[in-house]
Structure 1
Amino acid sequence: MSEFLLPLIFFFIAFFYSSVGFGGGSSYLAILSLVIGEFYEIRTTALIFNLAVVTIGTAVYVRHKVFDFKQFWPFIVFSIPMAFLGAQLKLSEKTFFLILGSALLLSAFFMGLRVLKRKNENRSFSWIKRSGLGGSVGFLSGVAGIGGGIFLSPILNLSGWANPRTVASLASTFILFNSASGLAGLIVADSFHFDADFAIPLLISVIAGGSVGSYLSNSRLNIHVIRGLTAILVAYVGLRLILLHGFGMEI
């Protein structure tokens, strides 16, 4: 893959995902698996890119006063230790990508449903329900090597927990803490592998894409169009991972 094409791809991945409060970890994993041979280097690099993008997004949401810690803390506090534990699981490369692909297809399905369901609701979730959901998604995110917002956000949007921008703010913050916890889990498990010479140019690209996407997410950008495009991208990535690692088929 061209040395100029790869940073451009990562820029647009970061742009699309950050515009709806995500970090892009799932697509980073898929693309990195094509150019990096070492499994744990793929996971480490994707988590670092994820962390960089959502740090920017969270800062933007805080600045625009969308961030609501009183509502968010049960999701986050209980997800951190579960993401840490999930990241320490020793999975084969095939099992890892099949789990990730299946989870992404399910997430894309719920994202698609949310695009069709335009009506916004504001349902109250008890702190126990928020904690349970946060812990469950946190563990899955640790296993899958991503921040988990791509799983949490569609569930909350579909259930009508809050308006889309509040959910996007939570997703960004959720990914931030879970990515950091997941990286800590990789370090403790002696699975942290990072090639700075290869990754730094791509890191600059995702920071640039994440900055633009996070800014536009708080403007008049049509969030439904972006969410629909993101659902298509997520579905493609999930299907590709399952076909490639489960059946040896390329698409």
Structure 2
Amino acid sequence: MPLEYLPFIFFFIALFYSSVGFGGGSSYLAILSLVLTDFYEIRSTALILNICVVTIGTFVYIKNGVLKPKLIWPFFVLSIPLAYLGAQVKLSQNVFFLILGSALVLAGFFMLLRFVQSKIESVEFSNTKKLILGGSIGLLSGVSGIGGGIFLSPVLNLLKWKDPRIIASLASVFILVNSIAGLVGLQVAGTFQLDHELVLKLIIAVILGGSIGSYLSSKKFNLKILGILTAVLVFYVGLKLVLLHGYEINI
């Protein structure tokens, strides 16, 4: 895949993912792995792009009163330090993509289960439950090199915690803080690497796409169809990574 196509592809990824509160890190990783050879450059670039997209989303959610700090703060207490530690774990490229792919297959499956349900219900979580969920997914996000919202959101949707827009706003902030923690972890571990010229082009593309997607997400816009499509995309990306890096099958 020629590098000049990447900004156009990443624009649509950012638009698509940000519309349901994600940064797109999983797809950035998958696509970058096809065109870049440096494993740590791939992880560093994906985290930078994640931060750009979800920063916009977080701002839009705050501006429109969707974000509820009193409800979401416990999710971050353990997730931030564990994402930092997880980012310092050094894995081989094959093991990394197998872990990421397996997690995405599960995430896509659970997302699809939740979004095909006809009735949206809401239940309360204790702070302890929020701490455990946030910490475990924060660790996974650090190891996998993405912000973790793509794991947290389907779990919360499946467990029927709050409405989809509040979950999307939480996912956006969750990705932001854990991506920053992950970048710091990479820097401390000496594995932070970037192609600055390429990254600048991709940042412009994802900022434009993320702005449009976040606007759609924050308004009274039916996200169910987008949610189902995103679940299918997440499942496909995960399956592709597992088959490619586990069995050398390219689909």
Fold conserved between structures, TM > 0.5: yes
Aligned residues of 1:117 and 1:158 also touching (Cα < 8 A) = no
The superposition leaves residues 83-114 of structure 1 with CA deviations (integer Å, 9 ceiling, x where unpaired) of 00110001000000000000000000001001
Following TM superposition, where does structure 1 have runs of at least 4 consecutive aligned residues deviating by more than 4 angstroms?
none
Identify the residue that residue 56 of structure 2 maps to in structure 1: 56
1:31 to partner: Cα distance: 0.4
Classify the secondary structure of the residue corresponding to 2:205.
helix
Q: In structure 2, what is the Cα distance between the partners aligned to 1:221 and 1:166?
A: 14
Identify the residue that residue 11 of structure 2 maps to in structure 1: 11
Aligned residues of 1:88 and 1:186 also touching (Cα < 8 A) = yes
Q: For the aligned residues, what is the CA RMSD?
A: 0.9
Aligned residues of 1:83 and 1:141 also touching (Cα < 8 A) = yes
Identify the residue that residue 160 of structure 1 maps to in structure 2: 160
Identify the residue that residue 117 of structure 1 maps to in structure 2: 117
Identify the residue that residue 30 of structure 1 maps to in structure 2: 30
Q: In structure 1, what is the Cα distance between the partners aligned to 2:203 and 2:235?
A: 24
Aligned residues of 1:15 and 1:211 also touching (Cα < 8 A) = yes
Q: In structure 1, what is the Cα distance between the partners aligned to 2:5 and 2:144?
A: 26
The superposition leaves residues 159-215 of structure 1 with CA deviations (integer Å, 9 ceiling, x where unpaired) of 111001000000000000000000000001001001101111111101110000000
Identify the residue that residue 78 of structure 1 maps to in structure 2: 78
Identity of aligned residues (%): 62
> Which stretch shows the higher mean deviation, 61-70 or 2-11?
2-11
Aligned residues of 1:20 and 1:227 also touching (Cα < 8 A) = yes
Identify the residue that residue 99 of structure 1 maps to in structure 2: 99
Aligned residues of 2:66 and 2:218 also touching (Cα < 8 A) = no
Classify the secondary structure of the residue corresponding to 2:173.
helix
The superposition leaves residues 125-174 of structure 1 with CA deviations (integer Å, 9 ceiling, x where unpaired) of 11010000000000000000000000000111111110010000000000
AA at the equivalent of 1:90:
K
Q: In structure 2, what is the Cα distance between the partners aligned to 1:8 and 1:77?
A: 36
Give the aligned length.
251
Q: Specify every segment of 5 or more residues in structure 2 that has no aligned partner in the other structure, as ranges.
A: none
> Which stretch shows the higher mean deviation, 48-57 or 111-120?
111-120
> Which stretch shows the higher mean deviation, 1-10 or 15-24?
1-10
> Which stretch shows the higher mean deviation, 112-121 or 53-62?
112-121
1:102-251 correspondence runs (5 A): 102-251=102-251
Q: In structure 2, what is the Cα distance between the partners aligned to 1:192 and 1:16?
A: 27
Cα pair distance change 1:88/1:3, threshold 3 Å:
closer
Aligned residues of 2:3 and 2:35 also touching (Cα < 8 A) = no
